Homo-oligomer: A and B are copies of this chain.
């Protein structure tokens, strides 16, 4: 593998001159720089990252941690993050599994974005004290050293429930998600709080954030139907779509007999009829906030805790 020494030899200069030339340090004659660059190019020189990292203590690589690659929700965020991080010249890698957490103390990556409930807060704090930088998207941490950018689920719940209960409401059905999901916990607990404080009855149907689990929840809904429109808040869109699908086999219709809203403003929800009313947020905005904060933190600015704004996209599913 060709290295800086080979170039120096070929160019008849010292290795430091090569290093300066290649790194654009303004210390070397323009002509020799061009000559060196040409040679480097000709022999296909690419710097060894390990050596550079060892010296500079920085990799400019940011790792995104996921619990697993199942489901297909995080695809859009990952693609957006890739673009946002590139604006700051960071390279992105995606990791999963406990063992890969080592990359941080090993100094193989400078920082991490956490979307992985298996990555313990304890470890995050430990590595933070080793100089690694973190932005978490899936938990609240009581530390001003850890960046936090969270979907504003509180506001989202309020938007849905106040809209859903504009007309007289005896009861609201909540289709919940899996226990280990931060978003589920937030949406669920705030829904319950909101409904209790407004003295509205509710019932929780347990789901898993999958279309299939929404499909099964819909069976319960149909059973509960007694001639009056049923009001439902589904804690994500996929499950709401499952409800749509189940209702195709019945004579109940969305927007009339079943009034339902979801979260995430997913593509799926935009395609069904009537379109699903959903709490949305801008993925690109999220990824830009993340990249900007990481960049700030890597330049020794303070971490922050921010909420990602949400809005209600109205379809016809609330009538």
Contact = CB atoms under 8 A, between A and B. Distances in A.
A79 interface: yes
Nearest to A96: B82
A177 to B, nearest CB: 17
Interface stretch (A29-37, A70-78, A167-175, A196-204): A70-78
A102 interface: yes
Contact of A79 (B47, B63, B69, B107): B69
Contacts of A73: 69, 72, 75
Contacts of A100: 91-93
Contacts of A99: 86, 91
A82 B98 CA distance: 11
Interface string A93-107: 111110110110111
A50 B1 CA distance: 17
Contact of A75 (B72, B86, B91, B97): B72
A248 interface: yes
A66 to B, nearest CB: 9
A251 B59 CA distance: 60
A25 interface: no
A50 B107 CA distance: 8
Contacts of A94: 69, 93-95
Which of A68, A95, A105 counts the most B-chain CB atoms under 10 A from its CB? A105
B49 A108 contact: yes
Contacts of A107: 1, 48-50
A130 B1 contact: yes
A271 interface: yes
Main SS at interface, chain A: mixed
A51 interface: yes
A46 interface: yes
Contacts of A10: none
Contacts of A71: 75
A78 B68 CA distance: 9
Contacts of A86: 97, 99
Which of A48, A50, A76 counts the most B-chain CB atoms under 10 A from its CB? A50
A87 B70 CA distance: 20
A212 interface: yes
A178 interface: no
A14 interface: no
A235 to B, nearest CB: 20
A95 B97 contact: no
Contacts of A59: 50
Given A50-B59, A91-B100, 5 more contacts: A69-B78, A86-B97, A92-B100, A93-B93, A93-B95
Closest 8 CB pairs of A and B: A50-B53, A49-B106, A69-B75, A69-B78, A94-B94, A46-B105, A50-B54, A93-B93
